Structure 1
Amino acid sequence: MLFLPNDESSKLLAMANSRAVHLEVADDHAVSDEDEPMRRFLAGQPPVDPDNYPTSWRQWEDLVAETTARGVAVQRIRVVTEPLTDYIRFLHAISGRNEQYGEDIRWLPRHTVDPAEYTTDEWWLLDDDILAWTLFDSAGDFVGFAVTRDPVEVVRAIGVRDRLWVKAVRHSDYVPETIG
């Protein structure tokens, strides 16, 4: 297993030749570069302040644009609890921007899928032969990936991806359940 630290995370998508799928299952993360955009969102303001745009967001957008320009499909499945937490509502509000740079984002309400059909880990699956678990520190910040080519783990992730992708709803079509 290889540890790929956060500051080298662009190397992960460079390993993909045709498809990179990200599974997200947590209803909350405490990612420090999202604090101000999240505060703005909860205050009813646009999450993104053009004068204070998070550097890591621009880096991600550039990486996705470069990756999709190489012909790699960048896809994301978010398994979410409805009604959505504030954090997931925030992610939903900003996901259109991610799609502008080439990501295909899908949403899957947790109550519509059997818990046995997915994992509680978040990960990336690249080209059906590389699995990279997403790692966070105790404060919730992303620290890197644990990367493996273990065929047992990769096949398990392929099964999860294939079961969930067909059930998940395109971002543009997803209308989250709201309270009341």
Structure 2
Amino acid sequence: MTDKAPTYPDLLRSATERAVHLEMRDIYTVEGEQERITAWRAGHRWDRADRTSWWRPWLDLVVETAARGVVLRRGRIVSEPLSEYLRYSHSYAFTNVEAGEELRWLPRRRASDLALPGNDFWLVDHRLVLFNHFDGEGRPTGVEVSEDPDVVKLCSSAFEAVWERGVDHDAYQPS
């Protein structure tokens, strides 16, 4: 494993077949997101019909990646009822789906018998895993990259198990 990691744009641009992302935390403290969370708390919701109001650079990258034929999937293991952060996240997750990413939600109680790695990760083309590390408050603290076949196999297997049990975003009703 190495701490030398590609940027997220480089990671997705390197994908030729698929890029999957497993998220397992109930809170993420993302720099620059506080203003949007405050607006959400006050009742603001993104309007599906007004794409320019919610489109952002990340979604351009998702569209670009999907247009090359790369399958993008995100699985989220979540505690229920959802944390405030995940309720906020669910409210705008349609933007990722509209950009070309598939998304499934798995209630944590349905994941108890799954073998899962200790950290969120991206897995690209069954060849490279990028682990995301966070502190206890959900702030990113770094990444770790592995191309070890055993680590790749663990993450691939974990993601597929979550994906198989997950509920499609359009059908998931947060509690």
Q: TM-score range by the shorter chain?
A: 0.7 to 0.9
State the one-letter code of the partner of 1:12: L
Judged with a 3 Å threshold, the aligned counterparts in structure 2 of structure 1 residues 120 and 2 are, in CA distance, closer, same or farther, namely closer
Structure-1 separation of matches of 2:85 and 2:28: 7
* Deviation, structure 1 residue 163: 1.1
If each structure's helix is expressed as a fraction of its own residues, which one has the higher value? 1
The alignment of Structure 1 onto Structure 2 pairs a total of residues equal to: 171
Judged with a 3 Å threshold, the aligned counterparts in structure 2 of structure 1 residues 44 and 105 are, in CA distance, closer, same or farther, namely same
Structure-1 separation of matches of 2:171 and 2:72: 18
**Secondary structure of 1:172's partner?**
coil
Match of 1:170 in 2: 168
State the one-letter code of the partner of 1:3: K
- The two structures have a TM-score, normalised by structure 1, of 0.85
Match of 1:96 in 2: 94
Q: Mapping of 1:20-31 within 5 angstroms? A: 20-31=19-30
Identity %: 36
Structure-2 separation of matches of 1:135 and 1:3: 14
- The two structures have a TM-score, normalised by structure 2, of 0.87
Structure-2 separation of matches of 1:47 and 1:142: 25
* Deviation, structure 1 residue 95: 0.3
Match of 2:66 in 1: 68
Structure-2 separation of matches of 1:47 and 1:32: 20
1:30-81 CA-partner distances (Å, limit 9, x unpaired): 1122111111111112268x8xx78xx7121011000000100110000000
**Secondary structure of 1:36's partner?**
helix
> Does the 8 A contact of 1:29 with 1:140 survive in 2?
yes
**Secondary structure of 1:31's partner?**
coil
1:145-177 CA-partner distances (Å, limit 9, x unpaired): 322111111111111012111100110010122
Residue 145 (structure 2) aligned to one of 137, 147, 155 = 147
**Secondary structure of 1:3's partner?**
coil
State the one-letter code of the partner of 1:150: D
Match of 1:35 in 2: 34
Structure-1 separation of matches of 2:80 and 2:136: 25
Judged with a 3 Å threshold, the aligned counterparts in structure 2 of structure 1 residues 29 and 118 are, in CA distance, closer, same or farther, namely same
Judged with a 3 Å threshold, the aligned counterparts in structure 2 of structure 1 residues 128 and 32 are, in CA distance, closer, same or farther, namely same
1:3-22 CA-partner distances (Å, limit 9, x unpaired): 226xx321011221111000
State the one-letter code of the partner of 2:160: D
Judged with a 3 Å threshold, the aligned counterparts in structure 2 of structure 1 residues 157 and 11 are, in CA distance, closer, same or farther, namely same
Q: Which runs of 5+ in 1 are unaligned?
A: none
Q: CA RMSD in A?
A: 2.4
